[in-house]
Amino acid sequence: MRNLFLPVAFAAAALHGSLSAAPPAPEGIKTLEIGAAAPTFDLPGVDGKQHTLSDYDSADILAILFTCNHCPSAQGAESRIKSIVKDYADESFQLVAISPNDPESVRLNELGYSVYGDTLEDMKKHAADFEFTFPFLYDGETQGVTKAFGATATPHLFIFDRERTLRYVGRIDDSKYGDPKTIESHDARNAIDALLAGEEVETPTTRAHGCSTKWAFKKHLVTEYNEEFSSREVTLESIDEAGIQSLRENPTDKLRLINLWATWCGPCLGEMPHLVDIGRQFETRGFDMITVSTDSPEAMEKAQTLLRRFSAAMPRLTEASVKDEGRTTNNYLFDGSTDELAEALDPEWQGTLPHTVILAPGGEVIYRTSGEIDPDEVKRVIVEKLGRWYSPR
């Protein structure tokens, strides 16, 4: 069997190729140099409080980490950050994380490694889900602090001494992967150890590797991306029991979500925008979002009209992988009975709409629910299966 995931994986690698080479920051933004004073800040945190630089005056060593929810490199580094916080808990050391990104400058398909976007409310959810043990602050509204530090990537680390003079800037360590076993140079730990010992940092500057800061000046690119998607053709085709069985078997390397809906079903229409967004969010990861209308064949035009209103088109990368399968759409109307549909797709389905299943390659059902989906729950299932960080395999 051909590896249908390869074109998508290649595209994902291209989109996330910035892991090691971030685009330049806006004109006039320059990363702080060694010896610079720590810029002041007054930012909201996920704990509902305002945080200032002076709040951390008691720490001899202050680390300011620019990170975010969605970047695979940032997520891959989270376990190492938590280990650093834990291992230096008895020292006069404090780490403060800041999200630098303008949430409206992040495309949906840039969130393919994450459950959440980069809003403050999403940061609260992310920090709770992954048990952050350090302050996590939001600078996405003005990005003034990010500009003052010159943070160009997530993660990007700045370490200051007792006088709040910058003594180290750059990466956390030399691995861009999530597995700590891939680390060869523990740069942040080396810098902290040197400063705690009253010594000079041997390598004070390293290159930060991660996703580029999502500057507000690029917001128009998201607008253009959304407009392009909204203009894409929305197709709907009839499908029979054998066709459903073929979708159910999922003989691809992709994760596949199949949603059963109907034009007369209120909850179906309520959840459809979330499903469309999920399909777009994970298009770079080898993922399909397929809708199957249970309306009568006579309602084909009505079903297609509603799908058009929801812009339920295939994302560009999904379209390419579907074409490789020999299919031409991800929207179908089932021509058959409820019992036939249940037996072909999910015998556990009792006929309630909407109904959603997620199928692993080979057809194993890894998630099912009847009733309106919880979008965050669905995304957690997808991310858990596909992974939160970049992997060489």
Supply the DSSP string of 31-44, one letter for each residue.
Answer: PPPTTPBPPP-EEE
- The answer to whether residue 7 scores a pLDDT higher than 50 is no
Cα 249 to Cα 363: distance, rounded to the nearest angstrom: 4
What are the structure tokens assigned to 203, written together? 């390598």
Q: Enumerate residues 6+ apart whose C-beta is below 8 A from 14.
A: none
Cα 253 to Cα 360: distance, rounded to the nearest angstrom: 8
pLDDT score recorded for residue 378: 98
Supply the DSSP string of 247-304, one letter for each residue.
Answer: HHH--SSSEEEEEEE-TT-HHHHHHHHHHHHHHHHTGGGSEEEEEEE-S-GGGHHHHH
Cα 62 to Cα 53: distance, rounded to the nearest angstrom: 10
- The answer to whether residue 302 scores a pLDDT higher than 50 is yes
pLDDT score recorded for residue 26: 62
What are the structure tokens assigned to 102, written together? 């303008």
Q: Are strands 61-66 and 153-154 parallel, antiparallel or unpaired?
A: unpaired
User: What is the rounded average pLDDT of the residues 48-63?
Assistant: 98
Q: Which residue has the higher pLDDT, 20 or 312?
A: 312
- The answer to whether residue 25 scores a pLDDT higher than 80 is no
Model confidence over 333-369: pLDDT tens digits? 999 999 999 999 999 999 999 999 999 999 999 999 9
Rg, the chain, Cα only: 24
Q: How confident is the model at residue 382 (pLDDT cuts 50, 70, 90)?
A: very high
Supply the DSSP string of 67-131, one letter for each residue.
Answer: --SS-HHHHHHHHHHHHHHHHTTTSSEEEEEEE---GGGS-GGGGTT-SS-SSHHHHHHHHHHTT
Angstrom distances, CA of residue 41 to CA of 54, 146, 170, 271, 383? 9, 10, 20, 40, 33
What is the average pLDDT score of the chain? 93
**What domains lie within the chain, and their CATH numbers?**
18-221 (3.40.30.10), 233-386 (3.40.30.10)
- The answer to whether residue 260 scores a pLDDT higher than 80 is yes
Helix (H, G, I), strand (E, B) or coil at 356: strand
pLDDT score recorded for residue 176: 86
CB 203 within 8 A of CB 190: yes
- The answer to whether residue 9 scores a pLDDT higher than 90 is no
Model confidence over 314-340: pLDDT tens digits? 999 999 999 999 999 999 999 999 999
